[in-house]
Amino acid sequence: EYNQCRLYANGKYDMLHGQDETILPSLAQGGARGGIGGTTNYNGRELTGIIEAWNNGDIETAREKQNFSQAVINVICHFRGNIVGGKRIMKLLGFDLGPNRVPFRNMTDEEEAQMKKELEEIGFFERANKF
């Protein structure tokens, strides 16, 4: 879908990429110059790092950062996705954004502890955005 949009009107428009899981492949297809990521609030350093590494010709670093970003997404998928899990990640980073609104269920304290453990296992807190 991204590539179809990118090709529209002979590539006339700068198409921002919008899926954290596939930034690197979109850069490789050509045309992507930036993106809007769902996990940018807490994983933005890694996401922009993918683009920077690509622009510098450092494919191995770009690939490693893309794989790490996927690992973060894999964790939040265990906890009802970015709206629920991502909000709790922000709390773990010091920004309590309050409870979720309906129809989203809030995480339990036990789920938060499990998510924190899974994030620690992938080294997330060392690589997360610093505020």
Question: Residue 95 CB: number of other CB atoms within 10 A?
Answer: 12
Domains in the chain (CATH in brackets) are 2-127 (3.20.20.70)
Helices (H) and strands (E) in the chain, counts: 8, 0
Whether residue 103 has a cis bond before it, omega within 30° of 0: yes
Say which residue, 103 or 34, is predicted with more confidence: 103
pLDDT of residue 48: 93
* Model pTM score: 0.90
CA distance 84 to 4: 31
Q: Give the pLDDT band of residue 60 (cuts 50, 70, 90).
A: very high
Q: Give the pLDDT band of residue 13 (cuts 50, 70, 90).
A: confident
